[in-house]
Amino acid sequence: MSSIRFALSERVGAHHFALYRAWINGIDLSEAGLRYIDERDPRKVRSAVEGLRIRFIQAAHRANLPRYARLLSARLKTSAQDPRGELQQSETSPGKESLDLQAFAEEIDPEGFYSESELIKLYEERVRPTADGDTLARQRRRARWIAQQKEALFWIERFLVSRPLPEDPLPAWFEGSAVQRLQRSGVTTLADLKAFIERHGKTWYAHIDGVGSTTAERIVQWLQEHAGELGELSDTAIAGRLQVSRAGLPSVAQRIVGQRDAQTKLTQGSGAHAPLGRDETYAPAPASCLIRASDDLQAMQAWIEARAGSPHTARVYRREAERFLLFLAQEKSIDLHSLKVQDINDYKTFLALLGRVDAKGWPFRLPQEQYCAPRNIPRADPRWRPFEGPLSAKSAQYALVVVGAFLGFLTDVRYLAANPIAGVNIKLAGQDMRNPVKGLSRGQFDLVREHVMQLPDDHAGARARFLLELAYSSAARLSELAQTSFADLSLVRREDEAGHYVMLALHGKGGKIRNVYLGEAVLRAWREYAQHRGLNTVMTALKGQALPMLATLDDGAPIGAAMIYRIVKEIFEGASRLAAQRGLYDDAAEIAACSPHDLRHCRARHLGQGKVALAVLQRMLGHASPATTSIYVTNSDLEMAQALANAE
């Protein structure tokens, strides 16, 4: 059976720096090698470490960092009795004899308050009764050497580390016979590999002679670890089509009911299930159906694969479709082929009442508690439920919109003869149809900017300031912000004067890419943030480099959407406190309620008030329809109130 290893020859990644740091800190070579480069033989790991050291020294020279080249070249001397001298020390783990000092530092100074010299002095005072002068001197030399090595690695990593790109060839990241076998099957790049796995599902390796399940599992794990650069694998690719389309929903439905119920068409006990609506009383899918689906679950999966342009959209589509199918199974005991207009109206009522009425006012079979549970409970957990609680009017209407899209697709491909939702008014009763103004006012946004400027002048503060300006200027969605990279920068030449406009390509819904303009405020904020990251302060100088714009504070890895959300929410909460301190309590409440998406609304609102053309605004926001964009440029209640107040 073929094997695969992570390549060292072509690219140096973050895992190689982790290996080198492990060696410096005295971690066993076999353990470190197995963990970071999948190599157990200590001799081969030692050779890899020495190869890395040479490459790091070369990189320091190329980056014009001679001091770090010298630090990396320096080797510790061992005792005079050691005939192999420096070489022996370099081949063993240099940090082992200094572990006591490191443990001492972690024990008394976890926050890094003391300087190196102060720490050594405190350490000497503790160990003086049991350690001679030579031992202390050796401890001091090695502690200093380790600190210098880590400092050098910190800066070299910013210059040398590479992150995988979809167009990278397989040998840039993998070695072993499996690479040749993949290449012979036409899989030559990382993008090819990901597409091949998506196309064939969990057992994709069965289509490649000589590639086994263990190798395939390691490849998939590596792709998942680099989802930020290469994109997430779908549930189908990870769990397999059968598990996603058939095992997921019935097991969820069984957990909701908790007991056998003949009306649900689900069988209990053995874990098997009868497909919803597939007994003799229900009509089969038409012979002219354009998708391969023998039941509603497979039809749902076909819709998600055909229409969801991103992993996030796929998750949303699956959530809403599963909720709808669960409702039909639990409350109506029907499948999609028996669906009528009245059933959709009942689901509309179900969404409007869930979590908002007492038991007496609940008209459905299962109690409300059987449908709701706190978020973040795994789907495999018996406590999992499809809802977290009552839906807002906007969320309930969105759920019906997604269901309509689901049923519309099934009608288009002839799985259904007609779309019942066409006969339903999906607007919920009592819904506020006025034209609300979305996003913060200019005055409120000025408060947010004022607060973020008051944050400390450290790495985290600089990142927060840059994130705010980037999110506002680009009007990017949360998922788009998480993917921003300097590789997506471009320049557009000015017509009226010398110079260029800075543009950023955003990877939006459905794989669509659009260019947005980055204002001067973004470039200013970057100059401060870049200093903390050790990068060029001229943003355009990094154009074309595969570096994340938003990175972690420690290793420079890209931060995800969850981290971005948390940072922005903290900014809004701080700005809300600032507004409250000034007696602006209404503004404080509105700012506190904002999410990162409101920065997008905020930018669109301000541009619309600035009379930016509808077509320009639509293109910037990436809206498919101008009707979606028109809310930012049409006359709002605010404009009406301003006009009438000025007329008095």
pLDDT digits (tens, 9 = 90+) for 38-91: 777 888 888 888 888 888 887 777 666 777 777 787 765 443 333 333 333 333
pLDDT of residue 588: 87
pLDDT of residue 106: 54
- Which of these, 604, 511, 599, lies nearest to 313 by C-alpha position? 511
- Lowest pLDDT segment from 18-22, 113-117, 429-433, 441-445: 429-433
pLDDT of residue 358: 87
pLDDT band at 462 (very low <50, low <70, confident <90, very high): very high
Residue 126 pLDDT more than 60?
no
Alpha helices in 423-560 (DSSP H): 442-453, 459-474, 478-481, 520-533
| Residue 211 burial (C-beta neighbours within 10 Å; 0-12, 13-18, 19+) | buried
Q: What is the dihedral of CA 552, 555, 556, 561, to 10 degrees?
A: -30
Q: Can 600 be counted among the known catalytic residues?
A: yes
Residue 16 pLDDT more than 50?
yes
pLDDT of residue 220: 84
pLDDT of residue 448: 93
CB atoms within 10 A of CB 79: 10
Q: Of the listed 509, 524, 569, 619, which one is catalytic?
A: 509
* Model pLDDT for residues 364-411, shown as the tens digit of each residue: 989 998 899 887 677 767 788 899 889 888 788 888 889 988 999 999
CB atoms within 10 A of CB 416: 20
Question: Are the C-beta atoms of residues 365 and 331 closer than 8 Å to each other?
Answer: yes
pLDDT of residue 550: 92
Residue 573 pLDDT more than 60?
yes
Question: Are the C-beta atoms of residues 291 and 282 closer than 8 Å to each other?
Answer: no
pLDDT of residue 320: 92
Q: Of the listed 318, 600, 603, 605, which one is catalytic?
A: 600
Residue 469 pLDDT more than 90?
yes
pLDDT of residue 158: 62
Q: Can 278 be counted among the known catalytic residues?
A: no
Q: Can 16 be counted among the known catalytic residues?
A: no
* Model pLDDT for residues 587-612, shown as the tens digit of each residue: 888 888 888 888 888 888 888 877 78
What is the residue-averaged pLDDT of the chain?
76
* More confidently predicted of 144 and 104: 144
pLDDT of residue 270: 32
Question: Are the C-beta atoms of residues 178 and 216 closer than 8 Å to each other?
Answer: no
* More confidently predicted of 407 and 9: 407
Residue 110 pLDDT more than 60?
no
Question: Are the C-beta atoms of residues 486 and 543 closer than 8 Å to each other?
Answer: yes
| Distance from chain centroid for Cα 70 | 38
Mean local confidence (pLDDT), 209-226:
80
Best mean pLDDT range from 156-160, 410-414, 642-646: 410-414
DSSP 54: H
- Which of these, 367, 343, 340, 339, lies nearest to 353 by C-alpha position? 367
* Model pLDDT for residues 398-455, shown as the tens digit of each residue: 888 899 889 999 999 999 988 888 877 766 555 444 445 567 888 999 999 999 999 9
Q: Can 507 be counted among the known catalytic residues?
A: no
pLDDT band at 584 (very low <50, low <70, confident <90, very high): confident
- Which of these, 641, 623, 646, 609, lies nearest to 440 by C-alpha position? 609
pLDDT band at 526 (very low <50, low <70, confident <90, very high): very high
pTM of full prediction above 0.85: no
Q: Can 337 be counted among the known catalytic residues?
A: no
What whole-number distance in Å separates Cα of residue 248 and Cα of residue 238? 13
pLDDT of residue 325: 92
pLDDT band at 527 (very low <50, low <70, confident <90, very high): very high
- Lowest pLDDT segment from 125-129, 357-361, 431-435: 431-435
Q: Can 194 be counted among the known catalytic residues?
A: no
Q: Which residues lie closer than 8 Å to 422 by C-beta, 6 or more apart?
A: none
Q: Of the listed 477, 533, 601, 606, which one is catalytic?
A: 477
What whole-number distance in Å separates Cα of residue 110 and Cα of residue 103? 10
- Which of these, 449, 441, 442, lies nearest to 575 by C-alpha position? 449
Query: DSSP letters along 535-565, please?
Result: S-SSGGGGTT---BSSB-TTT-PBP-HHHHH
pLDDT of residue 525: 93
Q: What is 442-613's CATH superfamily? A: Intergrase catalytic core (1.10.443.10)
